[in-house]
A and B are shown apart, each in its own frame.
Chain A
Amino acid sequence: MNRETIEKTINNFLINELEVEEALLNADALLKEDLHIDSLDFVDIAAEVEKTFGIKIKPEEMKDVKTLSQFYDYVVAKIQ
């Protein structure tokens, strides 16, 4: 699975399930402050990523993931 597909899949989930405005989804957007993703929302993102990509997100690995682009990087790296 290439990076473009991964980004598109994550974005679709954010738009359709978390109801994040599509216009806010730029690479530098801060997950918490800009996209208003709270800790419970992140539980749902983690469950979706696990179901879709077959990888498990570990909270301790997410400490430095602050932006959407960093999150894409994290998922891409885990898949690879």
Chain B
Amino acid sequence: MRRVVITGIGIYSCLGKNLEEVRQSLYMGKSGIGIDPARIEYGYRSPLTGILKRPYLKPLLDRRSRICLAEEGEYAYMATVEALQNAHIDLDYLNQNEVGILYGNDSSAKAVIDAHTLTLQTKDTTIQGSGPIFQSMNSTVTMNLSTIFRLKGINMTISAACASGSHSIGLGMTLIRHGLQDLIICGGAQETNYLSMGSFDGISAFSTRIDEPTRASRPFDKNRDGLVPSGGAATVILEEYEHAVKRGATILGEVAGYGFSSNGANISQASDSGSLIAMERALIDAQITAAEVDYINAHATSTQQGDAHEAVALNKLFAPHKTPISSTKSMTGHECWMAGASEIVYSNLMMLSSFIAPNINFEQPDDCAVNLNIVPHTLEKNIDVVLSNSFGFGGTNSALVIKKIKK
């Protein structure tokens, strides 16, 4: 079977604007959470969010490219530029070879709402100009990046709620494995503007620990009170192993397993059995046992029920092995559509630098987590195998296994 490796990663998140900034934040256990005053003004129950600045793209992109990019597309552009540089792939290479893109994204709310507001005021759609249509579709990230980078392979957006980014990597791996593509830009993007998360806030899913923003996201902690929304973008360049070797690429890791499932149950609640199936399938796909996993990057978002369901599944598979577990969402908040991809980037950074980033704010273990080896402080450790979980609304589950490459 064709093997699939990672030859480039890029990140733009509330932990930093590039790989090195993010690696340092992960190592330091630094939170990227803060308060967004616009959310208070708008009527949010909780103004907590991951804080990141939009990149200044004028020196980097022409006008047409810039005005078609929504916020999440800007982040995805930055992450992809870094990942391509990391993979030593330039525009000449992209022009001369078939490269695909599969990127996770599940909203572009601001573009839709802004265009609607303008039309409501003017009663005239043409006043919107030419940007909003290309910003407001769910596939905004892939339609823009495929144009900017002149991509000629598979080209589509994966919309699977908070598992979008993870599925994009799993599906990319599948296409490469089966010989349909050699190189695919995968990833996930998430907008962070106040218009994008109002309805999520409306179901009281967010933490209201407003007086302590950096302590608000506390997966598996007894006193967790909800998730903190966040965003940015993460890009993972997937490549067929022999193709990467022939190109002389630096191989950062191997995507060895992908497992998925659908709960077929409640629209908002996670499921221990559904997530267990995804994890087991990922391990089988990677041809490894649970005992061989060195680190689990949990989905755990800091909600009462979500973390508890995942903990049940983790207990079944990993409690006997005392496998180290952390949720980087304790620092980033929940990066939603981006999370499955960013957590592969975070895990890959940890693998490359031999440490486990902490599950910060894990102060009083919840009953569900007492038998799990949750890592509360940075742990220096060699990591050969990582399992990364991502679950989303509608019961979509994805689990990925990445490994250090063994030639």
A-side residues, CB < 8 A to B, are: 17-19, 40-41, 43-44, 46-48, 50-51, 56
Contacts and interface: CB of A to CB of B under 8 A. Distances in A.
B127 interface: yes
Contacts of B131: 44
Contact of A18 (B63, B126, B127): B63
Interface in B122-141: 124, 126-131
Given A43-B130, A47-B127, A50-B126, 16 more contacts: A17-B63, A18-B63, A19-B63, A40-B64, A41-B64, A41-B130, A43-B126, A43-B129, A44-B67, A44-B130, A46-B126, A47-B126, A47-B129, A50-B127, A56-B124, A56-B126
B130 A40 contact: yes
Interface size class of B (residues with CB under 8 A): 10 to 19
Contacts of A44: 67, 129-131
24 contacts: A18-B63, A19-B62, A19-B63, A40-B64, A40-B130, A41-B64, A41-B130, A43-B126, A43-B129, A43-B130, A44-B67, A44-B129, A44-B130, A44-B131, A46-B126, A47-B127, A47-B128, A47-B129, A48-B129, A50-B124, A50-B126, A50-B127, A51-B127, A56-B126
Contacts of B126: 43, 46-47, 50, 56
Between B62, B67, B126, B128, the greatest number of chain A beta carbons within 10 A of the residue's beta carbon is seen for B126
A43 B124 CA distance: 13
Contacts of B63: 17-19
A31 B62 CA distance: 18
Contacts of B129: 43-44, 47-48
Contacts, number: 27
Q: Is the interface of A mostly helix, strand, loop or mixed?
A: helix
A19 B62 CA distance: 9
A46 B125 CA distance: 12
Contacts of A41: 64, 130
10 interchain residue pairs of minimum CB distance:
A43-B130, A40-B130, A47-B129, A44-B129, A19-B63, A47-B127, A44-B130, A50-B127, A43-B129, A47-B126
A56 B122 CA distance: 12
A40 B128 CA distance: 12
Interface in B97-147: 124, 126-131
A47 B125 CA distance: 9
Nearest to A50: B127
Contacts of A46: 126
Between B64, B124, B128, the greatest number of chain A beta carbons within 10 A of the residue's beta carbon is seen for B64
Interface string B54-82: 00000000111001000000000000000
A48 B131 CA distance: 13
